[in-house]
Amino acid sequence: MASQLHSAPPFRAEHMGSLLRPQNLLEVRAKIRDTGISEKEAGLHAVEKEAVKDVVQLQRDLGIKAVCSGEFNRTRFWGLMWDEFEGTIRLQDADASMFRLYHPDVVSLIEQDRKVMPGDSVIAGSKLSWSPEKSVSNLHELKLIQDATPKSEWGNIKLTMITPAWFHMRYKEGKAYTPEAYANDSEYFQGVAEVYQAELDALYKAGLRNVQFDDPGMAYFCSNAFRKGWEEDKDNSGSVDDLFDAYIKLYNDSLSKVPADMHTGIHLCRGNFIGGRHFSEGSYDIIAKKLFENLNVNTFYLEYDTERAGGFEPLKFLPKNKNVVIGVISTKLRELEDKEAMKERIYNAADFVASGSGETREDALKRVCVSPQCGFSTHESGYPLSLEDQKKKLGLVRQIADEIWGEA
């Protein structure tokens, strides 16, 4: 539970986790996919290890402290964690009747025949449980980063993790699990919280001290289109705000056993999918007070690269024991932002934090950081930026942090 201010992590210069994959890694993955040969035969693990080593060094060279794998061992940002939980069923060609067709990422996956693309959805077919034999992908990823990082810096390493609500929000009510698995959402959420507790415990014991939950769903609550779709959906019981409250409780239950020295954060993702596509828009105003005050994380990573997110006014609700990372640098547009204009935006954000807590700008800045608005490659391929563009953007984040705070 976030009871006192946590710093370093987060760091003044942050980024959201996913980075552009090197070509040789993409080629090996394509070979596995297209020919059916095994990962071992294709030499994937050696290529993956070298790629992570290189991208960790890139981050360290640029002065990024919260180093990560770039999500290089994932094809999509949510990874394989849910597939590894005991009790899950991976759907193939799931029928559209199972889904909330107004849910923004479901809209992106629906094909013309109203089927959801294979392999993109998981439900609970029986009671969920955590298995040390199966739940290995996050631990493998952490080990790759540790192998590439001096042990003295292991506490800075950041691992991204999908929201515990990811495979609930997209489904029609009661469709995220079979009747044999759970009788209702409350039972299901309890089961999800327990497997997340176990996953976090295993990662903590392996040395992880910095976790960031990637959560497009919480940003969807800002969307008038999603809210309207919910209200018009006659299959729903309760209000959209009841669902928001349930997700906050799910998070808090999932994090209830996290030790005090493990930094936790949530990235409210509005999307940077293939081709730089975004998924949602709408100001944080409608959720900010409840989100900031009730969700027990240390840090909120917010996207503020365009007017889609509204103004900084909601930051006045940020409690004194929590941080905010302001995502003002775009990962969708190649053009490099003006440094002085971005610094002014950070100062503007800090002024709203200060106005809500009765602090000076200087004090408020102690709880503010800067970052790109999203990852550079939430899917493994198909993005408008080049590796050089990415390097310049991360370098700009570092410069802004140096000039505002003069610290990591």
Q: What are phi and psi of 347, to 5 degrees?
A: -60, -40
Contact 357, 46 (CB under 8 A): no
**What is the pLDDT averaged over residues 3-24?**
94
CA–CA separation, 16 vs 67, rounded Å? 10
Question: What are the tens digits of pLDDT across the range 183-241?
Answer: 999 999 999 999 999 999 999 999 999 999 999 999 999 988 899 999 999 999 999 99
Q: How many domains would you assign to the chain?
A: 1
pLDDT (0 to 100) of residue 103: 85
Beta-strand runs (E) in 185-305: 210-215, 263-268, 299-303
* 102 or 8, greater pLDDT: 8
User: What number of H helices and E strands is found in the chain?
Assistant: 15, 8
Q: CB 62: neighbour CB atoms within 10 A?
A: 16
How many residues are recorded in the chain? 408
HSE (CB half, 13 Å, CA atoms) of 93? Answer: 1
Residue 272 predicted with pLDDT over 70: no
Tokens of 321: 């024991």
Per-residue exposure over 310-336, b if at least 16 CB sit within 10 Å of its own CB, e if not: bebebbbbbeeebbbbbbbbbbbeeee
- Angle between the 23-35 and 44-61 helix axes, to the nearest 10 degrees? 160
Q: Which of 196, 125, 132 has the alpha carbon at shortest distance from 161? A: 196
Whole-Å CA distances, 401 to 123, 322, 369: 42, 19, 7
CA–CA separation, 34 vs 18, rounded Å? 24
**Residue 46 falls inside a structural domain:** no
Q: 385 is in which domain, residue-wise?
A: 63-87+123-404
**Residue 98 falls inside a structural domain:** no
Q: State the chain's mean pLDDT as an integer.
A: 92
pLDDT (0 to 100) of residue 101: 86
**Residue 347 falls inside a structural domain:** yes
pLDDT (0 to 100) of residue 278: 44
Going by the DSSP 8-state scheme, the letter that residue 172 receives in this structure is: P
**Residue 5 falls inside a structural domain:** no
Contact 139, 87 (CB under 8 A): no
**Residue 399 falls inside a structural domain:** yes
Question: What are the tens digits of pLDDT across the range 114-169?
Answer: 555 545 689 999 999 999 999 999 999 999 999 999 999 999 999 999 999 999 99
Question: What are the tens digits of pLDDT across the range 320-371?
Answer: 999 999 999 999 899 999 999 999 999 999 999 999 999 999 999 999 999 9
Contact 76, 117 (CB under 8 A): no
By percentage, how much of the chain surpasses pLDDT 70? 92
Q: Which CATH number belongs to the domain containing residue 354 in this structure?
A: 3.20.20.210
pLDDT (0 to 100) of residue 308: 63
CA–CA separation, 170 vs 182, rounded Å? 17
Contact 300, 125 (CB under 8 A): no
Contact 319, 356 (CB under 8 A): no
pLDDT (0 to 100) of residue 113: 55
Contact 326, 346 (CB under 8 A): yes
**Residue 8 falls inside a structural domain:** no
**Residue 4 falls inside a structural domain:** no
Residue 108 predicted with pLDDT over 90: no
One-letter amino acid of 109: L
Whole-Å CA distances, 225 to 17, 21, 220: 28, 33, 9
